[in-house]
Structure 1
Amino acid sequence: MSIHPTAIVSPKATIGRDVSIGAYSIVEDDVKIGKNTSVGNHNTICSGTTIGDNCKIYHNNSIGEVPQDLKYDGEKTKTIIGNNVIIREFVTINRGTVAYGKTVVGDNTLLMATTHIAHDCIVGNNVIMANIATLGGHVEIGDWCNIGGGAMIHQFVKIGKQSLIGGGFSAKQDVPPFIIGAGTPLRFVGINKVGLERRGFSDQDRALIKKAYRTFFKSKLNRGDALVKIKTELSQTQEIKEIIEFIESSNRGII
């Protein structure tokens, strides 16, 4: 363990093996930091935060601070950061509220500089958030998503797994899995072909996903009838079932 003499680490924090904490960083009570994690300079890690193993936290970050929610009244809530997470400079991650109780960032996620994750967000595994990307409260981001630089995700929006949101655009409604969303207002511009190839999806898998979304977004059918057609005319693979379930469970509507 290596703790810079200017760092302030609470004796009530739990620090794992081979952790390093840089100059002027503050680690408050009830913080847990897993083994082999590196905390750079000028970071504040607030009470109720758990950080996993093998994380790399650069400089000038605020993790687990109280939410920017006027209803918050000092309740004890949590911030949970997974394993192998990279947090670049000037990132802000707010703790949860009583609504969910915690904010979660999954394993193997990369948060580039100046990204913001608001209270009660659930960010999946293997997610990339590029510079200045912003999540409002209660946002859910699926595994393997890519949120482009400067993108803004409205509170309560859900982004389905393996989707990509183009840089500088805003999502005000739910974005189903496996697609690219871009434009103003945000719209479907195609399946996330490159991302799916990287994840090992076959040509047949991608073609079926593409057919489902062309039916839903591009046909002359209304969306209810389009969904019926997807259910009745396409092979019900795991991916097609996930698309149907996501659309049917949406509370904010689909882009």
Structure 2
Amino acid sequence: MANRIHPTAVIGDGVELGDNNDIGPYAVIVGPTVIGSDNWIGPHCVIGTPASDRGAPHPAAWHDAPVGDPEQDGFGVRIGDGNRIREFFSVHQGTKRPTTIGSNGYFLRSAHVAHDCRIGDGVTLGSNVVVGGHSEVWSLANLGLGVVVHQHSRIGPGAMVGMGAAVTREVPPFTISRGVPARVTGMNVVGLSRRGVSPEAIAELEPYVIQGAGELPELPAELAKLLTEWAREGHRGEH
């Protein structure tokens, strides 16, 4: 199906759109940006403006084509499919790598993703969440209202961060964190149970993801894959 773009929206040069996207009033999307299909992008969203860097150029990309090759220069924005992006959401261009957002996410009002971030699939960012530059939010994570993520932080797959928390380091997978600074208070039992993980497997998983002890228990294939990738990147251990 064709994209439905409100006449007040601004779509700059260098923006590639898939199919069946809804783009609301006064949204601004500038390139280089690649957006997949079936996304809902609400009013006043801003996607692809320059990184927050005093020394970086700030081109008026809504007027002029972007300068440089994103494949070589490591900037741009990449967004997948099936996301629900609510009003006043914003995401900045990358500087060393594209800023990437996966598929099937839900991004509430006024959430912000800074430059060079990587956001996985099925992520939820609550209203007024701010994710600092070069951070990673892995698939299935859920960040509550007003969470602040310091730059270069890592939030593991399936983690839940309570509203108003300040993440200053790494959050282990499938845990619940709260406070300022955020501290782990337990496992995301509800989220794991909904994905078919037994109470016994959750009990075995807790020392594995928090202390780096024991072995990975038997889990649904999707979750096992995420945790194996997390461990492969060296994130497993004490927090």
Task: Tell me the TM-score range normalised by the shorter chain.
Answer: 0.7 to 0.9
Return the index of the structure with the highest Cα Rg: 1
Is 2:216 the counterpart of 1:204? no
**Structure 1 residue ranges without an equivalent (≥5):** 1-16, 217-226
Amino acid at match of 1:84: G
TM-score (norm 1): 0.79
Tell me the C-alpha RMSD between the 2 structures.
Answer: 2.5
**Residue number in structure 2 paired with 1:47:** 31
Instruction: Return the alpha-carbon distance in structure 1 between the equivalents of residues 102 and 15 of structure 2.
Output: 17
Shift of 1:85: 0.7
CA distance in 2, matches of 1:138, 1:70: 17
1:240, CA displacement in angstroms? 11
Match of 2:52 in 1: 68
1:63-120 per-residue CA deviation (whole Å, 9 max, x = no partner) reads: 01111123434755210111001110111100100x22x0011000011000000000
Give the corresponding residue for 1:237: 217
**Equivalent residue for 1:12?**
none
How many Å apart are 1:175 and its aligned residue?
0.6
TM-score, length-scaled by structure 2 = 0.84
Q: Residues 72, 250 of structure 1: CA spacing in aligned structure 2 closer, same or farther, 3 A cutoff?
A: farther
What's the secondary structure of 2:43's corresponding residue?
Answer: coil
Count of residue correspondences = 220
Given residue 113 of structure 1, which amino acid in structure 2 is its aligned partner? R
Residue pair 1:64, 1:94 contacting (<8 A) in 2 also: yes
Q: Conserved in 1, the CA contact under 8 Å of 2:173 and 2:209?
A: no
Q: Which amino acid aligns with 2:234?
A: S
Q: Which secondary structure state, in structure 2, belongs to the residue aligned with residue 64 of structure 1?
A: strand
Q: Which structure is richer in relative contact order (CA contacts within 8 A, separation 6 or more)?
A: 2
Match of 2:6 in 1: 22
Preserved CA contact (<8 Å) 1:61 1:92: yes
Does residue 1:249 correspond to 2:234, yes or no?
Answer: yes
C-alpha distance in 1 between matches for 2:92 and 2:130: 12
* Secondary structure at the counterpart of residue 197 of structure 1: helix
Match for 1:109 among 105, 109, 114?
105
- Structure 2, unaligned runs of 5 or more: 58-66, 219-223
The runs of 4+ residues in structure 1 deviating greater than 6 Å are none
One-letter amino acid of the structure 2 residue matched with residue 95 of structure 1:
Q
